Amino acid sequence: MIPLATTEASLVASYHRGAELITALGGCTSIILGESVSRTPVFALNNLHDIGILSTWILEHSETFKTLVTKSSNYCQLQNMRLTIEANHLYLICEYFTGDAAGQNMVTIATQSIFEWILTNSPVVIEHAFVEANMSGDKKASYLSFSHQRGKKVTVEITLADEMIKKYLHSDAKTMQKYWQVSALGSVMSGAIGMQGHYANGLSALYLATGQDIACIAEASVGITRFELKEDNALYVSVTLPNIILGTIGGGTSLPSQRAALEILELPKENSARALAEVAAALSLAGEISIIASLCANDFTSAHQKRARQK
């Protein structure tokens, strides 16, 4: 059972249909490829010479920063730091592990401690600085999605037998693969970041139901859907989501209705946020399968008319 909070009846019906097919086939396979949450402070200096000195100095004190982070939180861990230089501006990309929490506030507090320590101890004069320089990808679609991750990077796959597609979706593998090809070109020509049908529909409904930060859908709904026709006329379908920001503790997850929704999912106690991310990916897979089948069967419009327009 997956709880969804939405006013769109056709959305629930569509995701249910895709999930029903996945269940009939014994489920899908998912894996967490990586996880981190980032913050990116910026420091403006006088010249490139000072930038070089500060960059080297920051890298030399990485262990100090890790200690500062552990003091700011019992769960947050500084995993990695990367530097990006633009003339006399130094961007510090801090990447953290946040456990079962989504970690947005957690990493902000951790970065603040690093930020203030640098300002206090810097070997060169810092003209001005800000704790977040809008380079983390927070709450926005960005090309960083495919070179790194923000939150949990998840991929999920399933192979659909053609006869099962016909039985549950009233379409067929070849037609669905042809639709995916033209829709991929459509994504390229429209300048979309990633290639997918409607991740935001299912993810936003799941996020609202389980107490997540709904604004994170802007980045969470970036990803890649792929259809591949196999030799036996089966259809391989995969979904890769590089920015699933969510958690099972903290924030809105402690509210009564949202906590009840999380309990419906029966997540494992250990690494429950990772499990929730895999559920989110599987839900997205169900939605992609169903909407493409609906477009191929030419009942996409009639379904919306029936469930959303007629009294």
Catalytic residues: 8, 213, 304
Paired with 55 in beta bridges are none
β-bridge pairing 29-39 and 77-86: unpaired
What is the phi-psi region of residue 296: left when phi exceeds 0, alpha when psi lies from -120 to 50, beta otherwise?
alpha
Cβ contact 223:285 at 8 Å: no
Question: Residues 63-72: contacts with CB within 8 Å, 24+ apart?
Answer: 64/117, 65/94, 65/114, 65/117, 68/110, 68/113, 68/114, 68/117, 69/96, 69/110, 69/113, 69/114, 71/113, 72/109, 72/110, 72/112, 72/113
Host H or E run for residue 43: strand 42-45
